[in-house]
Structure 1
Amino acid sequence: MKLTTIRTCGGTRAARAERDGTLVELAWPDVGTALRDPWWRSVARTAAGSVHEAMFSTRAPLVLSAGRICCVGRLNRTATWLPATLVGSRDEIRLPPGPGADCETHLAAVLGAPLHRACEPAAAAAIAGFSTLTAVTTPGGGTLSFGSALATPDELPAAPAHASPCARSSTARSSAKPPPPASTRSTWSAGCRTPRR
């Protein structure tokens, strides 16, 4: 299933992308709001709202009020600036005159459930879907284009099944290997920021 957020006469609306090139409106104002509904998967699959031609629809950011966007990368490649503004996939981005603009596109894993110290299967199960993030940065700031669609894991050709819960027994905990020394671990960093619209 693929979900998107479109602009309508009354504001924005989450929509399901059909294989025939149409978009079916859903009850939520955006995909981010949909993901907070515990029944979003079943409702989004079966809802039958107004239908729009995808090629004539204007896309909004998938998530209008993201609680947090985390950029993860190796320490020697992590940017010191984090994008703070969300726009739709085809929105105009105004750049200041002069050199220095940079554009990078990233794969985004969108979480549909809270996570804290989760094991790998639980973390994978919390992924609502995947999308793209395009960061356009300038010396004075930048913009983040989010979308245009969220592809749920079942859209992937070889999506792994993560139905089994994590082992929580004391045996499983005691048999786990301790983390490697800090000097031998992969050096990854994450920077998080709450974006504005």
Structure 2
Amino acid sequence: MRLATLRRDGDTVAVRMDADGAVEIPGFADVGALLADPDWRSIAENAAGRVLLAADIPSDAWAPVVPAPRKIVCVGVNYRAHIQEMGREEPDYPTMFTKYPEALVGAGDAIIVPPYAADFVDWEAELAVVIGTRVRRASEDEARAAIAGYTVLNDVSMRDWQNRTLQWLPGKSFEATTPIGPVLATVDEVPASARITTEVDGELLQDGRIDDLVFGPAAIVAYISQIFPLAPGDIVATGTPGGVGHARTPPRYLADGAEVVTTIEGIGSLRNRVVVSA
């Protein structure tokens, strides 16, 4: 099953994405609100609201799949290929930082970069976990059962701000810089070795598989749950594969007007343009 949050008439609505388009799920403004209901799966499967044909969904209609998660927890240096290109050792524990909801934009929205942070803007394709059931001090099996599904996230990073100190948050949570979506795909929809890619202006720059993760989704969720509980609608980003701009020789970064396409097999694509703007 595939779920999304669409903008409509100045508001948003949760939908189930079928082969032909979107079926509205009445009574739920977004996927986060839907997941807060313990019966979300049955409600979504049986929804029979207004239908919007896929061809009639404009690119700017895709809101962040969960527009206002309570928590966005991110894991870094978690793909073996990325660890190698960055010259690091495999970590013994997940490396974590946070984002805030203001960072999120939709699958077709612009990535808005302020001029003072525009010189070292990097791409990072990521598999993001969406929590479906409250999880606290969980085993990996319990954590796995708490995952509602996966979505695509691009952890766009301002590398100069990220590396000013040992704490990465300043370069990772700029407002309106983290595309997420277009859909939440339940776990059964996503191959265990799904391909994950980033293209910039049509050039393939990241090309990995999600089974290259050091810590998989269930292990990460279980680890986080030892520290604090995760609630329905919370987002956990799992790290990026090799091919980031900062690790290239010479380094490459995103310029004003660049189009970034981030794709995960079984989920879909983000298509975002970088806009440097005050």
1:93 to 87, 108, 111: 111
- Whether the 8 Å contact between 2:151 and 2:180 is mirrored in structure 1 is yes
Partner Cα separation in structure 2 for residue 6 and residue 81 of structure 1? 25
Q: CA deviation at 1:114?
A: 1.4
Structure 1 residue aligned with 2:134: 114
SS at 1:122's partner residue?
Answer: helix
1:93-172 pair list within 5 angstroms? 93-97=111-115, 98-138=118-158, 139=161, 142=174, 143-156=177-190
Structure 1 residue aligned with 2:22: 23
Deviation per CA, 1:79-134: give whole Å up to 9, x if none: 87846511111011222344211121110111111111111211111000011111
The aligned length equals 163
State whether structure 2 residue 52 is matched by structure 1 residue 34.
Answer: no
- Relative to structure 1, the CA distance from residue 136 to residue 156 in structure 2 (aligned partners, 3 Å threshold; closer, same or farther) is closer
1:4 maps to amino acid: A
Q: CA deviation at 1:157?
A: 5.1
- Relative to structure 1, the CA distance from residue 150 to residue 80 in structure 2 (aligned partners, 3 Å threshold; closer, same or farther) is closer
**Bigger Rg, which one:** 1
Please, what TM-score do these two structures have when normalized by structure 1? Answer: 0.72
Please, what TM-score do these two structures have when normalized by structure 2? Answer: 0.52
Structure 2: unaligned runs, 5 residues or longer? 79-87, 162-170, 193-222, 229-233, 236-278
SS at 1:49's partner residue?
Answer: coil
Q: CA deviation at 1:60?
A: 0.3
SS at 2:156's partner residue?
Answer: strand
Partner Cα separation in structure 1 for residue 122 and residue 75 of structure 2? 18
SS at 1:106's partner residue?
Answer: strand
Partner Cα separation in structure 1 for residue 19 and residue 97 of structure 2? 40
CA RMSD across the alignment: 2.9
Please state which structure has a larger fraction of its residues in helix.
Answer: 2
Partner Cα separation in structure 1 for residue 98 and residue 65 of structure 2? 22
1:60 to 52, 63, 66: 63
Partner Cα separation in structure 1 for residue 148 and residue 98 of structure 2? 27
Structure 1: unaligned runs, 5 residues or longer? 159-188
